[in-house]
Structure 1
């Protein structure tokens, strides 16, 4: 039995979970104010205690690596890296969009996770579950919400959207569509936000396939440069590398 600790603080949600091939042992999720630097370690301690799992019994640490909140991603990554380093455990970084798609395992529709990127833009991709395997159909993208709506309608196929950027699509549509009204379906709020159990499930699948990182090799995935980096480029008229 492989035990995975999943961590996600890439959005307003701070969450941790312990999961194996057999069951979800424990999950703790707070969807409130961003105070991840104060919350993450107590949340991790709680799920380990409630799942009756010692840190040494963990086989791998899964963490949401972005895109999402720059600060939240860094906090979650640092927390996961610290645990992995202290225990000499492997890590697996899960793209936040991939993790959101695991919220809807087995969905018969296309899945479009949407993360608010500010400025009326969203981070997104497109997925389909096929015989228990998640297939990504688009590259990870940063796109204006109105352009995304146009692309989703052009698919001529039902697509379920979820994530903290859904409200931007609702603003564009100016109405909450149902499956009978249009091809865009909004996931139930209970399944729409990031979940650490989904990060853990994705990590478990990849670990079983032989994938793994270390606390030194794992890297965050941002897509967009941070505001500080953009301001620096504007000030000095240069573009940072990488």
Structure 2
């Protein structure tokens, strides 16, 4: 079975082709470029390098968020378009779980973290003891709110993600020696890891592709501003 994996949920871009449990080709880049202009060329490169073609695919795994609205939409749109055109299933996986899967042998709590700006983060916490059992649900959190929840666990916490560095000083202030950082090679998403996680889920029917939606975990800023303006007018 041949899978294409696509992760554009945040700044890094990760693409992979996996055939029958073997990684055929993979590309990861952590460059601040618009995924709208980078994702499809990266996919084309993988097909060209492997001498494969889209018609060879049996399924697509895509990072469903949370993360950048634009990034998540681009990856999901590409995945849905390919899946619909090829009449193959699409499987979504949490972008945060993909990061946590990079450090599966840590014996305590793994916290995936992505900068959501203004001292907010997208984050989720997992236990590696039971196939990444969810301890704190994926969500959009104020940093202080997240750290208080992690502090209450009273366990060592391994933070993973390329944005951890932005918040690590405050993380240590709250958690002290219980705060640990994953080595930098593990801080970027792996599209082959994404595919591996997708393979653990039931494979949906191909015709369900239209019902697939991203997981944003918060409303868009424009929508939030519209709601705020609407409420202000109601009070005038």
1:163-182 → structure 2 map (5 Å cutoff): 163-173=161-171, 182=177
Change (3 A) 1:108 1:53: farther
Using the alignment, how far apart are the partners of 1:22 and 1:119 within structure 2? Answer: 41
8 Å contact 2:12–2:30 — kept in the other structure? Answer: yes
Q: Deviations over 1:15-62 (max 9, x none)?
A: 210124532111111211232111111111112232343322221101
Change (3 A) 1:161 1:23: same
1:198-217 → structure 2 map (5 Å cutoff): 198-206=193-201, 209-211=202-204, 214-217=208-211
Gaps of 5+ in 1: none
Is the deviation greater in 144-153 or in 95-104?
144-153
Q: Deviations over 1:126-164 (max 9, x none)?
A: 111236x22112222222213323332332222211124
Using the alignment, how far apart are the partners of 1:130 and 1:211 within structure 2? Answer: 27
Using the alignment, how far apart are the partners of 1:53 and 1:174 within structure 2? Answer: 47
2:120 alignment partner in structure 1: 121
TM-score (normalised: structure 1):
0.86
Q: 1:195 aligns with which of 187, 190, 194?
A: 190
Change (3 A) 1:71 1:172: same
In terms of fraction of residues, the more helix-rich structure is 2
Using the alignment, how far apart are the partners of 2:162 and 2:81 within structure 1? Answer: 28
TM-score (normalised: structure 2):
0.88
1:12 alignment partner in structure 2: 11
Shift in Å, 1:115:
1.4
1:141 alignment partner in structure 2: 139
2:216 alignment partner in structure 1: 222
Is the deviation greater in 164-173 or in 152-161?
164-173
1:94 alignment partner in structure 2: 93
- What stretches of structure 1 move > 6 A for 4+ residues in a row? none
8 Å contact 2:89–2:203 — kept in the other structure? Answer: no
Change (3 A) 1:212 1:221: farther
Is the deviation greater in 187-196 or in 49-58?
49-58
Change (3 A) 1:210 1:84: closer
- Determine helix, strand or coil for the equivalent of 1:104: coil
8 Å contact 1:13–1:34 — kept in the other structure? Answer: no
Shift in Å, 1:11:
0.7
The answer to whether residue 232 in structure 2 is matched with residue 232 in structure 1 is no
Using the alignment, how far apart are the partners of 1:15 and 1:211 within structure 2? Answer: 23
8 Å contact 1:122–1:165 — kept in the other structure? Answer: no
**Cα RMSD (Å) of the superposition?**
2.2
8 Å contact 1:115–1:122 — kept in the other structure? Answer: yes
8 Å contact 1:65–1:93 — kept in the other structure? Answer: yes
